[in-house]
Structure 1
Amino acid sequence: MTDVEETTANLPLMRKCPFSPPPEYETLRTESPISRVGLPSGQTAWALTRLEDIREMLSSPHFSSDRQNPDFPLMIKRPVRREEKPFRASLISMDPPEHSQARRDVVGEFTVKRMKALQPRIQQIVDEHIDALLAGPQPADLVQALSLPVPSLVICELLGVPYSDHEFFQGCSSKLLNREVPPEDRQVAFEQLENYLDELVSKKEANATEDDLLGRQILKQRETGEAEHDELVGLAFLLLIAGHETTANMISLGTVTLLRNPDQLEKIKADPGKTLAAIEELLRVFTIAETATSRFATADVEIGGTLIRAGEGVVGLSNAGNHDPNGFENPDDFDIERGARHHVAFGFGVHQCLGQNLARMELQIVFDTLFRRMPGIKVAVPVDELPFKHDSTIYGLHALPVTW
């Protein structure tokens, strides 16, 4: 819904310090915690900056995730989709009850028990990449040597996607997430990746096995008689991108942050049982996919004392909420013993991140192994020379040169 109401800011707002939210968030949260903002799509929307308001919105049945609806607030210009290409909805853009059933069908793939079964293989992948890193020249780019290939390999093996195609799908995802890529180029990347996964799912339907998630989903569909090819393509698309981009960026950001806070890093080295707590704090501090909590109202509803009318878009600024002093004491401090898991880095409500157990386990294995096997690791350039992803809808690092 586009209107001419006065706006308080235009999103996205840039981080002045790469380790902190945009300073304007604090001003908004203090002076105008629910305010109208302009979006790159040309729309206006309500921006939520308080943790309580964001959680309330995400748990309300009166907000939709349907990204095809023209009222949905987009952080990029809406691409023009060719009419002969029908839209394939994925979990992230479904609403209940359709979303409820689709999530039930796949949630068993991401239980803690299932993740523990993957742990030995993930450890092997991490060890192999650190072996190669140690055997290679210095400095090395940790993004290319470890951060990106580890979660890419893991999600490929989980889904049943050939890792030999990783350069192709990583190139597509980079274009899709880069705000500076023209809409027409982003649309081409979208269709290329969608066509690739369409063909992959078709091949698996012709020879489905229990060896990977897509094969298991196909066999399950046959048992119930509810074969949904397009839905499976949409699921593969979502999991392939989300399954490697987010974790890869958190590996790089987490490594830099722990190296910049040696007192916190020493706590992990002395007691690896604290690594998971450190991961929660890193997730809170960075909140790398903060506008994934965008929605639009399907009815008039009041949030935080403000009336949001049906059809109006809402952007939950999760990074602002995760630094809300009413939710976290001294929120700008990096404290691995904070013990706060009520952040919204993984979202909240029915759309809370499906793969969060996998992400936590990958991060735990990487950090424990990296700092144990490479105790002398350090960043090879000044922090202000690091190429942070200010141009991406998922925050992170383009490169991270390290020595050891």
Structure 2
Amino acid sequence: MTDTIPDLQLTRSCPFDPPDGAAELRERGPVSQVRLYDGSTAWLVTGHAEARALLSDPRVSSDRGRPGFPSPAPLPAMNRPTNMNATLVANDPPVHTRLRRMVIPSFTVRKINALRPRIERIVTERLDAMIAAGPPADLLAGFALPVPSTVICELLGAPYEDHEFFEEQSRRRLDADGLALQNLIKYLHELVGRKIENPGEGLLDDLVAEQLAEGHLDQAELATLGMVMLIAGHDTTSTMISLGTMLLLDNPEQLAKVRADEAAVPAAVEELLRYLTIAGMLPRQATEDIELGGVTIKAGDGVLVASAIADREQSDELDVANPMRHHLAFGFGIHQCLGQNLARAELEIAFTQLFRRIPTLRLAVPVDEVPRRPMGALSGVTELPVTW
């Protein structure tokens, strides 16, 4: 009998689109089986309604330490669960609940709205510097990366002068040798140690005083939690700023809508988030039998939610004036991205100022010549040459 289970594809031939083979996977139904890199199989959820249902189902686990937990690609040793015990994404309640409650007060809408004036100043300063240096420019290095890096450093209380180190380690965090994650863990462990001795201002300082001192966290857990927030706080947002800019510059009729009405930028941001869905695979494991999309997912089966494909089920067309709601760019359910309010604020402010202040901004090279990030599941670019 011929094996009809297709191999999971992570490569994105176009940085704006879901992984290759998305159309064929949709034709197989909203839930179908795929073969992973190691020869094992897992269920792939490509239907939008089915993805939301699965991600909010208490009968699935995010615990990477469970036997048979699926991975869309090989993981370096330091990215495995025994070394990532304080990651919000890799734990179930009650551990997840305990960790999330510690940090969520710093990411509420009210807290982020209070940060907006500072984010605006950071964006202004970065644009001032880029414009003063004159074209051409690398928008990623000069703007898209330093804006969220500066913001997350200030929020956490991490010294910005270390940004080149942790940005480089973040870029290399999926390297097979696992050294980048070891370096990041060591850095955060030492940073937490300094804060224990000399408290300052920032979320890490608050966690030292309120959680570590009270015995709710140990130093290793806090270092890991801080590392995850540091990576998540700059990497995905910088990718969205650069890819979102690239996408709009490649679609001038959509860019015209953004420039015509700054009040419409928040809606445009939601559509860009949906259309790009840069983190396209969310792994889970069933803890009980689940009926979904016409199939039975058995207890112990691995499941991958193809959020990038599911978000395009709503529409394959980009329309910044009419965004599709309930996208999965930030996930869904109890593991929905903690920093989504911060990311939205940064994106809204970045796009508003960028296109207002540089009205002639354009790509300096054709879209297909922009250097791409060498990752499958996470889309992105390594530089973004622009001119004006």
- Into which bin does the TM-score normalised by the smaller protein fall? over 0.9
Instruction: Map 1:268-283 to 2 at 5 A.
Output: 268-283=258-273
Residues 53 and 21 from structure 1, CA distance in 2 versus in 1: closer, same or farther, beyond 3 angstroms? same
Shifted more, 389-398 versus 377-386: the winner is: 389-398
Shifted more, 10-19 versus 250-259: the winner is: 10-19
**Structure 1 residues without counterparts, runs of 5 or longer:** none
Q: Distance in 2 between the 1:168 and 1:296 partners? A: 35
Instruction: Map 1:185-334 to 2 at 5 A.
Output: 185=177, 187-209=178-200, 211-221=201-211, 225-291=215-281, 293-324=282-313, 328=314, 331-334=315-318
Report SS of the residue matched to 1:289: coil
Residue of structure 1 equivalent to 2:380: 396
Report SS of the residue matched to 2:89: helix
Could you tell me which of 147, 154, 158 is aligned with 1:157? 154
Instruction: Map 1:75-154 to 2 at 5 A.
Output: 75-80=72-77, 87-154=84-151
- The alpha-carbon deviation at position 100 of structure 1 amounts to 1.4
Q: Distance in 2 between the 1:128 and 1:42 partners? A: 50
Please tell me whether the aligned partners of residues 7 and 35 of structure 1 are also in contact (alpha carbons under 8 angstroms).
Answer: no
Report SS of the residue matched to 2:193: helix
Report SS of the residue matched to 1:45: strand
- The alpha-carbon deviation at position 128 of structure 1 amounts to 1.1
The percent identity for this pair of structures is: 48
**Structure 2 residues without counterparts, runs of 5 or longer:** none
Q: Distance in 2 between the 1:96 and 1:119 partners? A: 32
Residues 70 and 191 from structure 1, CA distance in 2 versus in 1: closer, same or farther, beyond 3 angstroms? farther
1:15 aligns with 2:18: no
1:335 aligns with 2:339: no
- The alpha-carbon deviation at position 201 of structure 1 amounts to 1.1
- The alpha-carbon deviation at position 81 of structure 1 amounts to 5.6
- The alpha-carbon deviation at position 47 of structure 1 amounts to 0.6
- The alpha-carbon deviation at position 369 of structure 1 amounts to 0.4
Runs of 4+ in 1 over 3 A off after TM superposition: 78-83, 222-225
Residue of structure 2 equivalent to 1:370: 354
Residue of structure 1 equivalent to 2:42: 45
Report SS of the residue matched to 1:92: coil
- The alpha-carbon deviation at position 22 of structure 1 amounts to 3.6
Amino acid at match of 1:373: R
The aligned length equals 387
Q: Distance in 2 between the 1:339 and 1:383 partners? A: 24
1:352 aligns with 2:336: yes
Report SS of the residue matched to 2:296: strand
Amino acid at match of 2:291: E
Q: Distance in 2 between the 1:152 and 1:387 partners? A: 21
Q: Deviations over 1:89-122 (max 9, x none)?
A: 3111110122112211211100111111111111
Q: Distance in 2 between the 1:86 and 1:263 partners? A: 47
- The alpha-carbon deviation at position 76 of structure 1 amounts to 2.6
Please tell me whether the aligned partners of residues 11 and 375 of structure 2 are also in contact (alpha carbons under 8 angstroms).
Answer: no
Q: Distance in 2 between the 1:200 and 1:158 partners? A: 14
Q: Distance in 2 between the 1:176 and 1:42 partners? A: 24
Please tell me whether the aligned partners of residues 140 and 402 of structure 1 are also in contact (alpha carbons under 8 angstroms).
Answer: yes
Shifted more, 36-45 versus 340-349: the winner is: 36-45
Please tell me whether the aligned partners of residues 297 and 313 of structure 1 are also in contact (alpha carbons under 8 angstroms).
Answer: yes
Shifted more, 88-97 versus 214-223: the winner is: 214-223
Amino acid at match of 1:213: L
Q: TM-score, normalised by structure 2?
A: 0.94
Shifted more, 135-144 versus 66-75: the winner is: 66-75
Please tell me whether the aligned partners of residues 78 and 181 of structure 2 are also in contact (alpha carbons under 8 angstroms).
Answer: no
Residues 265 and 229 from structure 1, CA distance in 2 versus in 1: closer, same or farther, beyond 3 angstroms? same
Report SS of the residue matched to 1:91: coil
Residues 160 and 169 from structure 1, CA distance in 2 versus in 1: closer, same or farther, beyond 3 angstroms? same
Q: TM-score, normalised by structure 1?
A: 0.90
Q: Distance in 2 between the 1:43 and 1:307 partners? A: 18
Report SS of the residue matched to 2:173: helix
Could you tell me which of 23, 37, 42 is aligned with 1:26? 23
Residues 300 and 77 from structure 1, CA distance in 2 versus in 1: closer, same or farther, beyond 3 angstroms? same
- The alpha-carbon deviation at position 262 of structure 1 amounts to 2.2
Residues 114 and 11 from structure 1, CA distance in 2 versus in 1: closer, same or farther, beyond 3 angstroms? same
Amino acid at match of 2:88: L
